[in-house]
Amino acid sequence: MRIPTALGQLPPVIAYFQFALICLFFGSNFILMSRASRWFGPVEIGLGRVFGAAILLAIVWIVAERSRRLRPRDLRNIALVAVIANAYPYAAQPTLIASFGAHSFFGMTVAFTPLLTILVSIPVLGIHPTWRQIIGVIGGLGFIGMLLNAGALQGITVGMLAMAVTVPLSYALGNTWLRRTLRDADPTPMSVAMLMISSLTLAPLALAPGLSTTLGIGPPTPRTDFAIAAAALGALGALGTGACVWMFVRLVQSHGPLFAGMVTYVVPVMAILWGLADGETITSQQLIAVSGILSMVALVQAPTQKHTAEESGEWSPDPLTADA
């Protein structure tokens, strides 16, 4: 998508402040999902998250960017990305956290996204990685295996580990399809449409507690700490999703994808810090694996001629890449 030039360059202080807020909010999403799961079921959490974010971004669209419009021909692809990269992962993450409880571990898996995006881009976009990127992806997959093994040693089942990998994979699939089909779509109305479609996708399950319970994704029994859970869900939707998406797109438009994309490095660290603060056990193998994954991400994301073109304003990245 073309980067709008009307927004101009954010002052450095504001840009770094927004970057810090994005890292804080995204990195806090996992403990917020853990707290919300004390009362709400996984699908209810996913619905509350996408609907809250949709309302916030719709207000931004109406107040500040009402001249931007969606093209009807984009709706089919927007719906596909919404289901793959919003509805599914936003319900899957709280399912994993509610089942096992180690929110920091599942926060670490965000680091998989850039490496999986490289792999998915080969068949979807026809992009062939450089030798440096191939080395980085292979090395990253090795460290991913190490992190998954660390999870297995903590008692996480093979099925749950496989599901954990599908979350960043869904982001990678959504990102690449967005890149392929929605480059020219305006980001704010597109984000609102994606989140509203995700809400409509999750609503039938969330509003049918008997069905969600049958599928094993119902609310906890007994439900506890309603006030804490409701506050966590509100923050997860408005701040951890809506505000973060809006600030991330603004940061990309002003300072380019490389600067904004650095949140990929910070989000897993924030998740680990929240885990430590919450009394979770963080093993040395997990720390080594996350460090290795992030080093491989740095290798594959090192500036290239393509990135130089992006930074000059020719193309924008996909706003879902850093999603948590």
CA dist 257 and 308 (Å) reads 10
Per-residue pLDDT reduced to its tens digit, 61-70? 999 878 888 8
Whether 104 shows a pLDDT value over 80: the answer reads yes
Per-residue pLDDT reduced to its tens digit, 22-34? 889 999 999 999 9
Contact criterion met (CB below 8 Å) for 40 and 221: no
CB-neighbour burial class of residue 11 (10 A; exposed 0-12, middle 13-18, buried 19+): exposed
Whether 109 shows a pLDDT value over 70: the answer reads yes
CA dist 312 and 28 (Å) reads 32
At 167, which amino acid appears? V
How much is the pLDDT for 184? Answer: 79
How much is the pLDDT for 240? Answer: 93
* Nearest Cα to Cα of residue 321 among 270, 273, 267: 267
How much is the pLDDT for 5? Answer: 37
Whether 3 shows a pLDDT value over 70: the answer reads no
CA distances from 290 to 9, 272, 298, 324 (A): 33, 10, 12, 16
Which has the minimum average pLDDT: 238-242, 266-270, 320-324? 320-324
Per-residue pLDDT reduced to its tens digit, 275-317? 999 998 899 999 999 999 888 888 877 765 554 444 443 333 3
Cβ neighbours, 10 Å, residue 13: 8
For residues 261-278, average pLDDT = 86
Q: Which of 3-7, 52-56, 179-183, 311-315 has the highest mean pLDDT?
A: 52-56
Cα torsion at 113, 118, 120, 124 (round to 10°)? 130
